[in-house]
Structure 1
Amino acid sequence: MKWLGRRGSGNIDDRRGMSGGGMALGGGGILIVILGLIFGPEATQLLNQLPLGEATQQEGKAGSPSDDAGKFADVVLADTDELWTKIFQEQGMSYERPTIVLFDNSVSSACGSASSATGPFYCPTDKQIYLDLTFQQELKNRFGAGGDFPMAYVIAHEVGHHVQNLLGTSSKVQQMRGQVSETEYNRLSVKLELQADFYAGVYANYIQKLQQNGESVLEDGDIEEALTAASAIGDDRIQKQSQGTVVPDSFTHGTSAQRMKWFKKGYETGDVSQGDTFSSNEL
């Protein structure tokens, strides 16, 4: 992905190097849970279930980072800002831009405290995305998803959860907790996550049309990198690797095939009206 020299959002809260005041998540068993919570509001639900106490909100350096990894996240966020501002305007609505909070080790949010092991997550309460940039190495080393575009996919997916929050989609799903069986709630959670994957695909469709020096911002191999990441973090693949068996009723994010399918659908159509995963009969 061509990003050097491109405009950033300037909407970064850089807390790297600060003490996040969060708890440390440790133990081999917790890693299995964390891998299943890499993207989306399920991370928030995990945080809410833990005995966290009061989380002290902190603010870091606001604006655009000066390092390459930070600049990359800033550029991706700017692209998503442009995309969703345009889509919301077409529907007669105003888009509220989210903030990305960059941190290392631990962080405090309005949803509680978390360590880097929790993975990227979106907090609907403060409408911020929390991201430890070392996760890019995690994608490469643990999941075999190298390159820079998997990280763009991660950010676009979390922005997708922000869109769901603004539209009220995520709150509708959350309201079903306790009203339906755990199996049915997991199924709704999967639909929510797959829609965020679809939205990430719409983002990829958008930036392939952007030009820098007469060439597409999207480079050869970028989509393949995103699909590799989507496949690597499917519930079935994670469960198979971590516990040797696959339990579909406990899925929260979708299978590798489903995550790839919905990202690809968003990329190929670029049409948000085709991302109604909740009406899909396949789930």
Structure 2
Amino acid sequence: MRWRDGRESDNVEDRRGMGTGTVVAGGGIGTVALLLVAWFFGIDPTVLMESGGTPSPVVTQRSAPTSPVDQEARKFVSVVLADTEDTWRSLFRQMGGTYREPKLVLFSGAVQSACGFAQSAVGPFYCPADQKVYLDTEFFDEMQRRFKAPGDFAQAYVIAHEIGHHVQNLLGISDKVQSLRARAGEAEGNALSVRLELQADCFAGVWANHAQKTRQILEAGDVEEALNAATAIGDDRLQMRSKGYVAPDSFTHGSSAQRVRWFKQGITTGDLRQCDTFSATQL
């Protein structure tokens, strides 16, 4: 991915120098860790507060991240975020609207958001309450080691997926889905969550399409990196890895094939109208 000469966003909030520890009643840390797979790429960490003990954040001071690796990670995230800003600003303008840029918070270990307290085990997430994306950059190492999904464009896909949730929030889609889920049973609620997540995958593809057209960011193998990442984090793949069997009714993000299909839909068409997962008869 050609990113090193890109513009850096001013909307990165680096909290990696301000660690957050926890005091947990009732074994809550174990609960959060066990939910890693279930809430991989989740959009609202408050669901993690519904089981086990209630964590109490304790702020601890650490030295600011100044290593070359830390600086490189921040620069990469900042450039990718800036690229999503340029793309979505243009697309919203074409729709007659105004794109409100989200903040992206870098953290280490755990973080306090307007959606609640979350640990790195949750994975990257978007909080609609404060319109911020939260990311522990060590997750990128986890992608390579644990999920065999390396590559800078695979990492960019992760960021673009979370920004896709921000776009859904701005368009009012997230609120509608949340309202429907509040009145739905578990299986129906999960199905709505799957459609929301697959649309965010499609929106990530839309970003990649427009970024390539305007800024030629893609190099050989980049698309394959993103597709490999989408495959690695499909609910069926994750459930088989963790449980040894697949339970489709419990899917919250979609199967590997579905995630790949909708990312391809976005990157191929570059058209938001082609990302209507809620009207699709087949995902």
How far is the alpha carbon of 1:57 from its aligned partner? 10
- 1:168-212 Cα offsets, whole Å, 9 max, x none, are 11111111234122111110000000000000111111221244x
Asked if 2 retains the 8 angstrom alpha-carbon contact of 1:40 and 1:161, the reply is: no
Please provide the CA RMSD for this pair: 2.4
Match of 1:34? Answer: 36
Task: Select 2:47's aligned residue among 25, 45, 48.
Answer: 45
Quote the Cα distance in structure 2 between the aligned partners of 1:217 and 1:73.
14
Deviations 1:37-88 (A, max 9, x none): 2213254433466654676999xx9xxx981110110011111111111111
Determine if contact 2:187/2:250 at 8 Å carries over to the other structure.
yes
**Rounded Cα–Cα distance in structure 2 between residues aligned with 1:126 and 1:16:** 19
Deviation at 1:279, TM superposition (A): 0.4
Match of 2:266 in 1: 266
Percentage of pairs with the same residue: 52
Residue 141 (structure 1) aligned to one of 142, 145, 148: 145
Distance 1:22 1:203, change over 3 A: farther
Matched, 1:113 2:117: yes
Equivalent residue pairs, number: 274
Check the 8 A contact 2:126/2:132 in 1, yes or no. yes
Q: What residue in structure 1 maps to residue 243 of structure 2?
A: 243
Superposed CA offset, 1:112-151 (max 9, x none) = 1111111100000000000000111000001100111111
Question: What stretches of structure 1 move > 3 A for 4+ residues in a row?
Answer: 21-27, 29-32, 47-58
| One-letter amino acid matched to 1:181 | G
Say if 1:145 and 1:225, in contact at 8 Å, map to a contact too: yes
Distance 2:225 2:178 in 1: 31
Instruction: Say whether residues 1:185 and 2:169 are aligned partners.
Output: no
Contact preservation (8 Å) 2:230, 2:256: yes
Q: Distance in 1 between matches of 2:179 and 2:121?
A: 27
Cα distance, 1:89–1:269 mapped onto 2, change above 3 Å = same
Alignment TM-score, normalising by the size of structure 2: 0.90
Q: Where does 1:123-162 land on structure 2 (aligned, <5 Å)?
A: 123-162=127-166
1:253-276 per-position Cα deviation (integer Å, ceiling 9, x unaligned): 000000000001100000111100
| 2:91 paired with 1:87 | yes
The normalised TM-score by structure 1 is: 0.90
Q: Which amino acid aligns with 1:20?
A: T
Q: Which amino acid in the other structure matches residue 189 of structure 1? A: S
Q: 1:11 to 1:279 in 2, by over 3 A?
A: same
Looking at structure 1, the residues matched to 3 and 184 of structure 2 have their Cα atoms a distance apart, in angstroms, of 44
2:106 pairs with 1:102:
yes
Deviation of 1:5 (Å): 2.5
Aligned to 2:230: 230
What residue number does 1:220 align with? Answer: 220
* Matching residue of 1:71: 75
For the residue of structure 2 that corresponds to 1:19, the secondary structure is strand
CA deviation profile, 1:68-113 (whole Å, cap 9, x unmatched): 1101100111111111111111111111100000010111111111
